[in-house]
């Protein structure tokens, strides 16, 4: 089965998505998600200008060989753009292989290891009453695990807080990338955050009881010693995980955090290869791998990464915000269902407009996701609908401290 076309579809139903569609001489098509939030066109160009011509005439079944060829023949290795492009090709080829086999993709990955995929939702509020309302809304929607983010007194706009007016006056909602010609500037104060957050978790635990799994995302803003302090302060509230407590580019830094706290740690949404995790996994410095299938080389590379993690009892926590398209979400769900060391799956619902462009067959019932049993990934792209929403420039925000220093966002 030969590849005869590789089309790149950029569409913006409420937010930008880049989708790769590979077509074979047998008429089977496969989809891959190549979305890299705020840098979408760079991956589209990498695919269109450098990868698509290399795919023509290749055997669509040779997934491992195509992965190695794209990774090694570029000479320039790794990086978010390259690895997102390779991931899109990889996922599209798995979609094709599974459609050709007449099976849902998870069957080719070894079959289901569980009946459903536990998902966590994003609750947030500007203050405690608003946060409680948001948690209750998520519980009503069926979520059984909740990420908790709040505003911090003294900081104008904090990552991950819905309904918080951003610096442009727009509702922040769940989409941090804003359709502005320049990135929006936000502010940050780590000491204010560290003072405030334990009180928030104290309030949430006393309102919702000890059982509800609670998560929190530090979004790379702390130094190792600050992260250690926060992990320790949150221990009484029994978090499921503390995410991205430091930027973690320096993997060794996590030794320090680990020495001080038993709060479980999740890291890796900005990583793109197994090498970014080598020390973190081998020294058991984290508990959950946060990579996106779409940013870490696709199903082929993620499977290897998660198998490596499994040797150390480290579990998956695959990245699933709205900037992962329904195609990327479906890829994550098939992997989640098949692997043994599944931990939890992030799930932010896409908007109705996005669901019009991407027809999905995955389900969410009583807190559990399932990829469905359609052959392949189970997602179809409505290209006519996609064409109605052309690309709009959008940027993620960035942070400055009070003295004007640029900080991690």
Place of tokens 């929190």: 216
By the rule CB under 6 A, 218 interacts with ligand GCO: no
Task: Indicate the residue among 391 and 395 with the shorter CB distance to Mg ion.
Answer: 395
Cβ 318 vs Cβ 324: under 8 Å: no
Q: Which listed residue (217, 276, 287, 336) binds ligand GCO by CB under 6 A? A: 217
Closest CA to 259 of 233, 290, 224, 287: 224
Site for ligand GCO in 343-372 (CB under 6 A): 346
Q: Which listed residue (176, 268, 297, 326) binds ligand GCO by CB under 6 A? A: 176
Binding residues for ligand GCO, total number by CB under 6 A:
9
The item of ligand GCO, Mg ion, none sharing an interface with residue 176, based on CB under 5 to 8 Å by kind, is: ligand GCO
219 assigned to active site = yes
By the rule CB under 6 A, 323 interacts with ligand GCO: yes
Three-class secondary structure of residue 121 per DSSP: strand
340 assigned to active site = no
Closest approach, Cβ 7 to Mg ion, in A, equals 31
Cβ 107 vs Cβ 334: under 8 Å: no
Q: What is the H or E stretch that residue 326 is in?
A: helix 326-338
Find the distance separating the first CA and the last CA of the chain, reported in whole Å: 45
By the rule CB under 6 A, 32 interacts with ligand GCO: no
Burial 189-209 (b: 16+ CB within 10 A, else e): bbeebbebbbebbebbbeebe
What is the C-alpha to C-alpha distance for residues 279 and 154, in angstroms, rounded to an integer? 36
Closest approach, Cβ 269 to Mg ion, in A, equals 5
What is the C-alpha to C-alpha distance for residues 211 and 214, in angstroms, rounded to an integer? 9
Task: Indicate the residue among 219 and 258 with the shorter CB distance to ligand GCO.
Answer: 219
The item of Mg ion, ligand GCO, none sharing an interface with residue 37, based on CB under 5 to 8 Å by kind, is: ligand GCO
> Given the rule CB under 5 A, which of 8-16, 74-82, 268-276, 305-313 is the region that contacts Mg ion?
268-276
By the rule CB under 6 A, 82 interacts with ligand GCO: no
Closest approach, Cβ 333 to Mg ion, in A, equals 18
Binding residues for Mg ion, total number by CB under 5 A:
2
Written as one string, the DSSP assignment of 13-77 is: SSS-EEEEEEEETTS-EEEEE---TT-HHHHHHIIIIIIHHHHTT-BTT-HHHHHHHHHHHTSS-
Task: Indicate the residue among 175 and 217 with the shorter CB distance to Mg ion.
Answer: 217
What is the C-alpha to C-alpha distance for residues 44 and 33, in angstroms, rounded to an integer? 11
Written as one string, the DSSP assignment of 180-210 is: -SSPPEEE--HHHHHHHHHHHHHHHHHHH-S
By the rule CB under 6 A, 321 interacts with ligand GCO: yes
Task: Indicate the residue among 186 and 323 with the shorter CB distance to ligand GCO.
Answer: 323
Q: Going by C-beta distance under 8 Å and a sequence separation of 6 or more, which residues neighbour residue 270?
A: 80, 220, 244, 247, 295
Closest approach, Cβ 301 to Mg ion, in A, equals 20
Neighbour-count burial of 400, counting CB atoms closer than 10 A to its CB (0-12 exposed, 13-18 middle, 19+ buried): middle
The item of ligand GCO, Mg ion, none sharing an interface with residue 121, based on CB under 5 to 8 Å by kind, is: none
What is the C-alpha to C-alpha distance for residues 122 and 347, in angstroms, rounded to an integer? 8
Q: Which of 122, 138, 216, 219 is catalytic?
A: 219
By the rule CB under 5 A, 175 interacts with Mg ion: no
The item of Mg ion, ligand GCO, none sharing an interface with residue 32, based on CB under 5 to 8 Å by kind, is: none
Here's the x/- map for ligand GCO, 245-284, by CB under 6 A: it reads as ------------------------x---------------
By the rule CB under 6 A, 37 interacts with ligand GCO: yes
Here's the x/- map for Mg ion, 207-246, by CB under 5 A: it reads as ----------x-----------------------------
* Rg (alpha carbons) of the chain, rounded to whole number: 21
* Residues recognised as catalytic: 159, 219
The residue ranges that bind ligand GCO (CB under 6 A) are 37, 176, 217, 219, 269, 321, 323, 346, 396
The residue ranges that bind Mg ion (CB under 5 A) are 217, 269
């Amino acid at each position: 089965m030969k590849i005869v076309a590789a089309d790149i579809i950029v569409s913006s139903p409420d937010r930008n998505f880049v989708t790769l569609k590979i077509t074979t001489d047998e008429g089977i098509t496969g989809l891959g998600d190549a979305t890299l939030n705020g840098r979408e066109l760079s991956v589209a160009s990498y695919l269109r200008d450098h990868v698509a011509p290399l795919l023509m005439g290749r055997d669509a079944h040779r997934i491992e060989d195509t992965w190695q060829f794209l990774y090694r023949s570029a000479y320039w290795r790794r990086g978010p753009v390259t690895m997102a492009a390779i991931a899109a090709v990889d996922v599209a080829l798995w979609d094709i292989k599974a459609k050709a086999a007449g099976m849902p993709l998870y069957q080719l990955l070894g079959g289901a290891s569980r009946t459903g995929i536990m998902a966590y939702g994003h609750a947030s509020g500007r203050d405690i009453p608003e946060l409680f309302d948001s948690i209750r809304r998520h519980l009503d929607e069926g979520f059984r695990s909740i990420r908790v983010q709040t505003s911090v007194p003294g900081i104008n706009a904090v990552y991950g807080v819905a309904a918080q007016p951003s610096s442009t006056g727009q509702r922040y909602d769940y989409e941090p990338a804003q359709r502005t010609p320049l990135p929006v500037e936000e502010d940050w104060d780590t000491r204010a955050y560290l003072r405030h957050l334990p009180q928030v978790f104290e309030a949430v635990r006393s309102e919702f009881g000890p059982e509800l799994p609670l998560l929190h995302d530090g979004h790379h803003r702390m130094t190792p010693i600050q992260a250690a302090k926060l992990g320790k302060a949150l221990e009484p509230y029994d978090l499921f995980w503390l995410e991205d407590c430091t930027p973690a580019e320096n993997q060794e830094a996590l030794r320090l955090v680990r020495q001080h706290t038993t709060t479980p740690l999740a890291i890796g949404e900005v990583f793109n290869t197994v090498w970014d995790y080598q020390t973190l996994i081998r020294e058991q410095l984290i508990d959950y791998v946060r990579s996106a299938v779409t940013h870490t080389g696709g199903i082929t590379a993620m499977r290897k990464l998660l198998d490596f993690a499994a040797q150390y009892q480290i579990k998956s926590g695959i990245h699933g915000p709205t900037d992962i398209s329904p195609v990327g979400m479906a890829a994550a769900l098939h992997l989640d269902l098949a692997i043994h060391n599944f931990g939890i799956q992030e799930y932010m619902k896409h908007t109705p407009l996005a669901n019009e462009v991407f027809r999905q067959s995955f389900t969410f019932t009583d807190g559990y996701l399932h990829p469905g049993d359609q052959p392949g990934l189970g997602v179809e792209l409505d290209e006519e609908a996609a064409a109605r929403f052309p690309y709009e420039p959008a940027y993620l925000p960035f942070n400055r401290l009070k003295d004007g220093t640029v900080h991690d966002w």
